[in-house]
Amino acid sequence: MLFFRNDYGQGCIEEILSLLKEINYENITGYGMDPYCNKAKQLIKKQIPDLDVDVHFLAGGTIANQTIIKHILKPYEAVIACDTGHVSTHETGSIEATGHKVITLENNNGKLIPEMIKQCFDAHMLSYEHMVYPKLVYISNATEFGTVYTKEELMKLRDVCDELGLYLMMDGARLGQALMSSVCDYTINDIAKWCDVFYIGGTKNGALFGEACVITNPNLKSHFRFNLKQNGAMLAKGWLLGVQFIGLFENEHYFKCAKHANDCSKMIQDELIRLKYPLYMKSDTNQIFPVVTKEQFNYLSSEVDFEIWDKRNDMIVIRFVTSWCTKQEDVESLIQLLQKAVDLK
């Protein structure tokens, strides 16, 4: 069966496996205070030459979001996110479990827009201390729909956050795919200038696991490791996380993996468009959302492993995801199946 369910369904790139094997019997200091984590931090800092940033490693996206937000916010402060944001949907209420409300706004192609943030903030100010205080704007890039923020959009978000005194956080679980998309016109260095904190996702881009949290705002740097430990996010074998990002950044595999995933996805999406399949939303990265009939779904699901994303009347929104590991022959096989399924009604 063809696998297009997600971008974390395989192990990791060979460079990480080789390094793990090479150092497997070394005696290494724990809790991220080791030479491998230090080297990985320096590799990431090279991507951000214009700022002095702190880098911390966490195992996955949900624990990263929870730990970062818990660290930043006071008990009465809240997060603004779009209704499709990961913290709004697929984290089992992890942010609310820390005592912080997630204020959801309607997404615009998976994105937040400044006007809605200002409206939300102003509405809360009317009742002031009788409501939570919106303090952090959370965005995903790439978004949960595979779309990517442009430079202009991110600069406008920064402007509204400065105007209202809000922090801006970017969930970068698929940041590599965003950076390598055709619509991206900025770098990691630029993101560091616009965001108070963001993270670089490894789990969905060639690592066994791991996210690199980058704190740019000096006011947020102090005592982050205390929250890391309290939240269960500090690994005893922290050097395993450092190894992931050495493998990804030493020879730019982070960018190569993301480009490969995007290229495979583009081939599939282009064919879907040519075949006149409806798209729930046109993607800029490695997630594709075709809308299919029940007959098409039954045929495709017998040959392909993928997710159901939504159901609309008699139609089904499905999701195909490509990865660093997707093979060209699998892309071609999927395209052949789509060609056969197109006439099923």
- pLDDT in the model for residue 312: 86
* DSSP symbols for 156-218: HHHHHHHHHT-EEEEE-TTHHHHHTSTT----HHHHHHH-SEEEEE-TTTTSSS-EEEEE--G
Average pLDDT of the chain is 97
Q: Is 200 in the same domain as 319?
A: no
- pLDDT in the model for residue 247: 98
Nearest to 287 by CA among 86, 1, 7: 7
**What's the average pLDDT block by block, 10 residues per block, for the chain (345 residues)?**
98 98 97 98 98 98 97 98 95 94 96 98 96 98 97 98 98 98 97 98 98 98 97 97 98 98 98 97 97 97 97 94 98 98 90
Q: In total, how many domains does the chain have?
A: 2
Q: Is 191 in the same domain as 279?
A: no
Q: Is 204 in the same domain as 299?
A: no
Q: Measured between alpha carbons, how far is residue 186 from residues 151, 154, 179, 273 in Å?
A: 6, 10, 7, 28
Of 188, 223, 253, which closes a domain? Answer: 253
- Residue 294 is part of which domain span? 2-6+257-341
Q: Is 264 in the same domain as 212?
A: no
pTM value?
A: 0.97
Q: Is 179 in the same domain as 278?
A: no
- pLDDT in the model for residue 313: 86
Return the percentage of the chain with pLDDT > 90, whole number.
Answer: 99
Of 219, 253, 287, which closes a domain? Answer: 253
Measured distance CA(308)–CA(5) in Å, rounded: 9
Q: Is 261 in the same domain as 248?
A: no
- pLDDT in the model for residue 52: 98
Q: Is 61 in the same domain as 202?
A: yes
- pLDDT in the model for residue 345: 76
Q: Is 196 in the same domain as 324?
A: no
Question: In this structure, are residues 210 and 202 in contact, taking their beta carbons and an 8 Å threshold?
Answer: yes
Q: Is 232 in the same domain as 311?
A: no
Q: Measured between alpha carbons, how far is residue 22 from residues 15, 146, 167 in Å?
A: 11, 36, 41
- pLDDT in the model for residue 279: 97
